[in-house]
Structure 1
């Protein structure tokens, strides 16, 4: 018999002192995953710092502009250096203007973000509701004349609703936002159940119901929808009606300022013209007073001369 067949496995007793001993014939107590992947220890998620845009500092730009202007005020500055500094000054002023516009734009976005969100949500609901109503009317068994009339009315309402939606999306980000649905909840409470129209759009009544009451930007958005320039309008690259109104207001303010300056200058000129007149009046008064004093002295002398005796002499040169 071969030696391998005669040998048999003898059971190995567990040592008493080793508590970590495990017999290899026994199955392991720890349950592993079916895919055999090793257990990965828990690691904390490392949060990377946000990428900060390197925007120029406003104070730094203002400081550079002051330094360049101070340098340009020097009389002994060479011509080539003056040209370089003038170009640098123009670049710094342009950077400062762009940075101030960017900060103002981000400020306005944060300020009106929630109002725009609510208006956009309401306008999108209005558009979906009208589209659903249009499909229902087109698939209904009404007369052709009544169906066309209803579809025409719904098409007009749908066009206005789409303009409202684009108004909430493409309103210029750098300008003050005028809400469309600010009082919608109040009007919903005021509307009675018996006054609801057939289309059920009474709950979605706009603040500016008539076209005349709508803000000027609404008509600008409607025009940009036809021209396809909504993106440019939102970025502020178009001259809209409100910007023109603002320029008019600014021009009126400038006119008022210039008129105030002119009036101040006129007051100054009148003051300067009045002062020499007053001086002349004083001089005239002084001369009049002096002359009056002399006249009084002469009159006194005349009055006193007839009272004097003729025999008395004054001790003159021709006295005999």
Structure 2
């Protein structure tokens, strides 16, 4: 029987790798502890320790469920909240330009623009400080689907809470960035060094062609590997 090829040796090595042991989930840990506590022969000190451990695991399970629920609600209303932010961002940028223009001209409508700017800023606070894990009530509902009185009352309460949280924060750098910096804006790559690409006769950059190995080359590589393995085996037999 001939010696195994390089591919066979590689497959044999992969089968020798032992799979990693799975860590038991919180649900399994709780079930095992509950079964363990049903024993009547447990010492009192051990029973108390295991009961405390069971309470801690149950608390971790409740926290995880709340976290999963909060994440699910956040993802559900992420798009609606994003549209509110983009709309307010455009309004704030427009009003900011108008404020800069009227400041130099000393126009009469400066106070009205300032009032609109402050209102848009407070609406952005509502979006920024909105509590996680709670159903999002959008600022710009459709005319066919107006908010209920309950939602409007809740929205007013959340706006007051957002304004209070804004005043409580000492540093407003993150909020200002949230108002005026668009995360989806293209990144400025002017400072990066661009690699020179070859230009063709038509003046357009040449596309780099990827060379694929043919079936003949692949067969030759496998054959060379098999010859190398066989050659190594031959030398070992010679010295033996």
1:235-274 equivalences under 5 Å are none
The residue number in structure 1 matching 2:125 is 166
* Separation (CA, whole Å) in 1 of partners of 2:137 and 2:131: 11
**Is 2:40 the counterpart of 1:81?**
no
* Separation (CA, whole Å) in 2 of partners of 1:74 and 1:132: 75
8 Å Cα contact 1:116-1:179 kept in structure 2:
yes
**Is 2:66 the counterpart of 1:107?**
no
8 Å Cα contact 1:65-1:89 kept in structure 2:
yes
8 Å Cα contact 2:129-2:165 kept in structure 1:
no
Deviation at 1:95, TM superposition (A): 1.7
Change (3 A) 1:84 1:123: same
Deviations 1:82-128 (A, max 9, x none): 12202211221122122112211221122011101100000111111
Aligned residues: 145
Aligned to 1:215, the other structure's residue is in SS state: helix
The residue number in structure 1 matching 2:95 is 130
1:78-227 equivalences under 5 Å are 78-140=43-105, 142=107, 147=108, 150-183=109-142, 214-227=155-168
1:59-78 equivalences under 5 Å are 60-78=25-43
The residue number in structure 2 matching 1:28 is none
Deviations 1:132-151 (A, max 9, x none): 22122222254xxxx3xx33
Change (3 A) 1:230 1:87: farther
| More RCO (CA 8 Å, sep 6+) | 2
**Is 2:193 the counterpart of 1:228?**
no
TM-score scaled by structure 1? 0.40
Deviations 1:179-224 (A, max 9, x none): 00223xx59xxxxxxxxxxxxxxxxxxx99xx97843211110110
Gapped regions of structure 2 (runs ≥ 5): 1-22, 173-240
> How big is the alpha-carbon RMSD for the aligned residues of Structure 1 and Structure 2?
3.2
8 Å Cα contact 1:108-1:174 kept in structure 2:
yes
Deviations 1:33-78 (A, max 9, x none): xxxxxxxxxxxxxxxxxxxxxxx88xx4234324323433444321
Structure of larger gyration radius? 1
8 Å Cα contact 2:122-2:163 kept in structure 1:
yes
* Separation (CA, whole Å) in 1 of partners of 2:29 and 2:170: 38
TM-score scaled by structure 2? 0.51
Aligned to 1:171, the other structure's residue is in SS state: coil
* Separation (CA, whole Å) in 2 of partners of 1:65 and 1:214: 40
The residue number in structure 1 matching 2:185 is none
Deviation at 1:158, TM superposition (A): 1.6
Aligned to 1:177, the other structure's residue is in SS state: coil
* Separation (CA, whole Å) in 2 of partners of 1:104 and 1:182: 25
Deviation at 1:170, TM superposition (A): 2.8
8 Å Cα contact 1:105-1:174 kept in structure 2:
yes
